[in-house]
A and B are shown apart, each in its own frame.
Chain A
Amino acid sequence: MARKSSATAKIVTTGFAWAMALLIFFPILWIVILSFKSEGDAIATPLTMLSAPWTTATYTEVLNRSDYFGFFWNSVILAVGSTLMALLIAIPAAWAMAFQPGPRTKDLLMWMLSTKMMPAVGVMVPMYLLFRDLGLLDTRIGLLIVLTLVNLPIVVWMLYTYFKEIPTEILEASRMDGASLRSEILYVLTPMAVPGIASTLLLNIILAWNEAFWTLRLTTVDAAPLTAFIASYSSPEGLFYAKLSAASTMAIAPIVILGWFSQKQLVRGLTFGAVK
């Protein structure tokens, strides 16, 4: 009886999990379906659209109209570059906060995180003026700096949380064995925190890839990433849903594939230390 009840519960929970997953994935699925339809079929009622002929014409048109690979390359450089720069700063910072805390460490962490609470638009004009005066408008280096700084609080906070899970005694033991600070961080702390660092890296790449406020406002041509590519297909006057969907699919595909292949690492890192 108990076994039967358990089996029923398993079926229900599995069904619920699938339903939730489908619900969350549905918008992406819908975009992908739309992208393979003509503009006329894309605006037709849903059932008509599903039975309408499939076509890759929208992709051909998008590729002909836009330099997709130019946008893509900028996205890769900005996402990976800003993540590596953020890790370079955040690992020592998180180490100091986790293992050498001062009386104000918690306040410092909260202050860092509080910078994320301010709406970006509040500093847009000062940032624009700074970029103009420093000649950084529409440059990759300018955006790398911005994206690094924008995501730095989250990176520091995540790494701090992971580092706190590592027993201090192990680091002390390495010190007693004569390890320098550099060796301690590089050869003892970092290997133990690989799952945490990996998930932070992946999450930060995703955040930087999807960042659409600064990347749209500080670029024009040379440094414009895939967010600008998508924005060029959005229009309040004219139906371009199929082309917009094709552009969106092309923009999200690389990051979805990356997430798919690294999901084990991502989940492991995100749940690291969640259950003691």
Chain B
Amino acid sequence: MTNTLRALLGASALCTLTVAAWAEPTTITVATVNNGDMIRMQGLMGEFNALHPDITVEWVTLEENVLRERVTTDIATKGGQFDVLTIGTYEVPIWGNQGWLVSLNDLPPEWDKADLLPAIAGGLTVNGELYAAPFYGESSMVMYRTDLMEKAGLTMPAAPTWADIRTAAEAMTDKDAGIYGICLRGKAGWGENMAFLTAMSNSFGAKWFDADWKPQFDQQPWRDTLTFYLDLMNNFGPPGASNNGFNENLSLFQQGKCGMWIDATVAASFVTGADSTVADSVGFALAPDNGLGKRGNWLWAWSLAIPAGSDSVDAAKTFVAWATSKEYTALVASKEGWANVPPGTRTSLYTNPEYQSVPFAQMTLDSINAADPTAPTVDPVPYTGVQFVAIPEFQGLGTAVGQQFSAVLAGSSTLDDALAAAQTLVTDEMTKAGYIK
């Protein structure tokens, strides 16, 4: 009897240990940027854990530039510190080509890859392989004050030209009242002023490189772009604009100091949100053009990718599929309302009647659809990317050129000098990198 009892106890203990070992959760580490949508997802992890109790998610949240440097080091050295990376449309084609990312073509059918917006999916696909699942997508558009436009006796067209923008900026500017007709990015950086200026230059017929990778800053379209930009900012922009990035302009617009702001579509929910003093008088329009067939809007998607060095690929895929699914969007809508769901990734979101009632929904979709990363410029170019050039050298080049252009806006350099310096420094770097033979 005693022996039987012992045997039973032993067997039970063994079973318990085995079950415990089976139940040991897989831990995945997610590296992410600090923005409202990502923070919201962290708050909803209880829902994920209820569905997948066998997966524990740990978060590493960092500022965008630190995160980019951190994950680049880790993925290039196969450090294996992260299982899911939050990366943008700039990194995906470069890293996908390097073989640094796991293909997501085999995500479950119910994830519905065909539902992704074609422009967004195209930017995340390399040679037919989807290397990142879009979490939210954005373009850029015009956000303007309807009350000031009405006061000026103007109507903003749904698809304005740059000439319309100048007219509106002039009419809305009232410097004595602290209102500036237009707020645009001026802070130097490839993701700051150069994101705006590169997208803007596309609508002026400019490009970074010709078919032989020769820089094009010595050509007329770039001069036209910058001349127009400087005219707008010097006459109708806020003081100190060379220090203004997304956050500074958001703050100015929310305080009612900008007549117009051309920036990321994701800002629409902020300028119409509770913190905005002008929430009830904001209108939206497509980014301007010059009648050349390209608009001055960009395309970006924060996406979730799995590094090839991850040792928990299956758990990482489960998480990525959940976070970028239609069900996740519905979950956010049920908790926080449709205006707060991550926008710009799925066609089904924009056919949803409830989402269609969100004031900026249609304009966001139209803006995304108006950008084509595979043919970003008026003339054909050897690169992809709307507001960037998808080559590894671009981060350094974009920031160096951005510093030149920001200096002109600050008044410490001239347009001629800045264009000449940009041409020289980009030519030197591209020659060193072997693009120019």
Contacts and interface: CB of A to CB of B under 8 A. Distances in A.
Interface of A: 38-40, 43-45, 65, 124-125, 128-129, 132, 137-138, 216-217, 220-221, 224, 228, 231-240
Given A217-B73, A234-B62, A237-B35, 9 more contacts: A124-B73, A217-B70, A220-B58, A220-B81, A232-B34, A232-B61, A235-B33, A235-B35, A238-B34
A128 B73 contact: yes
Interface string B224-251: 0000000000000000000001110011
B282 interface: no
A65 B64 contact: no
Contacts of A39: 275
Contacts of A129: 77
B254 A233 contact: no
Contacts of B274: 40
Nearest to B43: A65
Given A43-B254, A221-B60, A239 B247 contact: yes
Contacts of B290: none
Interface SS of chain A: helix, strand, loop or mixed? Answer: loop
A33 B39 CA distance: 24
Given A43-B251, A43-B254, A43-B255, A237 B29 contact: no
Interface in B1-53: 29, 31, 33-36, 39, 42-43
A240 B73 contact: no
Interface SS of chain B: helix, strand, loop or mixed? Answer: mixed
B285 interface: no
A236 B247 contact: yes
A237 B191 CA distance: 11
A159 B247 CA distance: 45
Contacts of A233: 34
A65 B59 CA distance: 11
Interface of B: 29, 31, 33-36, 39, 42-43, 58-66, 69-70, 73-74, 77-82, 191-192, 245-247, 250-251, 254-255, 264, 266, 270, 274-275
A45 B254 CA distance: 11
B243 to A, nearest CB: 13
A220 B27 CA distance: 13
A238 B270 contact: yes
Nearest to B267: A237
A65 B42 contact: yes
A234 to B, nearest CB: 4
A117 B66 CA distance: 22
A236 B255 contact: no
Interface centre among A128, A137, A234, A238 (most CB of B within 10 A): A238
A216 B62 CA distance: 9
A212 B126 CA distance: 36
B94 to A, nearest CB: 18
A231 B39 contact: no
Contacts of B247: 235-239
B82 A240 contact: no
A237 B266 contact: yes
10 contacts: A40-B254, A44-B255, A128-B77, A231-B61, A235-B33, A236-B191, A237-B33, A238-B34, A238-B35, A240-B34
Given A44-B255, A129-B77, A234 B63 contact: yes
Contacts of A137: 79, 81
Contact of B77 (A38, A125, A235): A125
Given A128-B79, A235-B33, A40 B275 contact: yes
A216 B35 contact: no
B428 to A, nearest CB: 22
B274 to A, nearest CB: 7
A129 B78 CA distance: 9
B129 to A, nearest CB: 27
B77 A132 contact: yes
Nearest to B37: A238
Contacts of A43: 251, 254-255, 275
Contacts of B254: 40, 43
A221 B32 CA distance: 13
Given A40-B274, A40-B275, A232-B61, A220 B82 contact: yes
Contact of A239 (B42, B60, B82, B251): B251
A137 B247 CA distance: 33
A132 B79 CA distance: 6
A220 B42 contact: no
Contact of B34 (A125, A220, A224, A234): A234
A254 to B, nearest CB: 22
A239 B250 contact: yes
Closest 5 CB pairs of A and B: A232-B61, A234-B63, A40-B275, A235-B34, A43-B251
B424 to A, nearest CB: 25
A231 B262 CA distance: 28
Contact of B29 (A221, A228, A239): A221
A236 B42 contact: no
Contacts of B251: 43, 239
A232 B77 CA distance: 23
A238 B36 contact: yes
B58 A232 contact: no
B246 A236 contact: yes
A138 B62 contact: no
Nearest to B60: A220
Interface centre among A38, A124, A220, A231 (most CB of B within 10 A): A220
Contact of A235 (B31, B60, B63, B264): B63
A15 B52 CA distance: 64
A39 to B, nearest CB: 6
A239 B64 contact: no
A44 B257 CA distance: 11
Contacts of A240: 34
A224 B266 CA distance: 30
Contacts of B81: 137-138, 220
A228 B66 CA distance: 10
